[in-house]
Structure 1
Amino acid sequence: MDKTQLQQQVLAHLQADLDQAHQAALSAHETATHEENIAENKYDTLGLEAAYLASGQARRVEELRQTLITWRQLRPRPFDTAQGIALGALIQLLDAEGRPQWLLLGPPGASMKLHIGEQTVQVIGSAAPLGRLLLGKQPGDEISLHLAGRQQHFEVVEVL
């Protein structure tokens, strides 16, 4: 699998999310500042609620913008056994039942599933519990964490 191609897919998803969040922020701002939403009495809170929504949407836009910048700066490198798993690594794990899964470890803020042909790749951030456990690991290492209400075990099979 081509890590650069995966990164381009992540960037495209993040850009689409940013565009959508930007439109939602503009809409929320228009609603908050529309003359029909001016409070007529102290119990009329529609304008205030719309302002809170607009503020939250603006924060979401900024978070996505920062995530996009961070992902654009990521330079995936070939796996270095001296360093272990690092940002940009493409990792194959086996769960306790022997089912394989591919992960792309990146900066925080971009959890999504990508598809390369028939292969699914889960993008996880380095701040996620599984992401933190994987940093510095090598093929053959085993990790264990509490997920979905139970203890789960994985083996690092391959790192690209």
Structure 2
Amino acid sequence: MNKTDLLKSIIERLEIDLDMIQRAAQTAYETATAEENIAENKYDTLSLEASYLATGQARRMEEIRQACKAYQQLTMRDYDPERGIQISNLVQLEDAQGNQQLLFLGPEAAGLQIGTGPSKVTVITPRSPLGQQLLGKFEGDEITLVLGNGRQVQEVVSAW
């Protein structure tokens, strides 16, 4: 996976998400302010609900805008075997059963997935438990995640 192409894909996906949320927020705003939706009694809450929705969508829109800006300003760095895993590194993990996953340690947009199948990359941030554990780790290191009542050990197979 080429990190430059991955960065472009992340930015494109965030821009698409931003466009969709802007249209949804505009629709909710128009619903909230439409004259025909003015409350006629205390049980008529369509306008109020639409205004709550518009407010939430405006917040999400700003989060996506900030994430897009963070990725546009991101300096891509190669994995440094002296410093370990850092932001902008692509990391391949493998669990005890041989299942592998590709993770991109980014500044924002946790959970975003780019690609499909074995080349699927999931974006994580240093604020996540997994991201916190990966920072500063080296190829060959193991990390342990506590998931519910169980523990999952994964090895850093490679980083770039």
TM class by smaller structure: over 0.9
Which residues in structure 2 correspond to 1:36-115 (within 5 Å)? 36-115=36-115
Q: Which amino acid aligns with 2:56?
A: G
Greater than 3 Å deviation, 4+ residue runs = none
Number of residues of Structure 1 aligned to a counterpart in Structure 2: 160
* TM-score normalized with structure 1 length: 0.92
Distance 1:147 1:117 in 2: 24
Distance 1:93 1:83 in 2: 18
**Unaligned stretches of 5+ residues in structure 1:** none
Query: Identity of paired residues, percent?
Result: 51
* TM-score normalized with structure 2 length: 0.92
Deviation of 1:153 after TM superposition, in Å, equals 0.7
Distance 1:21 1:122 in 2: 21
Give per-residue Cα distances to partners, 1:114-158, cap 9 Å, x unaligned: 228962222222212111110110011100012365311100111
Q: Could you say which residue in structure 2 is the equivalent of 1:155? A: 155
Give per-residue Cα distances to partners, 1:73-126, cap 9 Å, x unaligned: 111111112221001001111111122221111013242222289622222222
**Unaligned stretches of 5+ residues in structure 2:** none
Distance 2:112 2:37 in 1: 37
| 1:71 aligned counterpart, secondary structure | helix
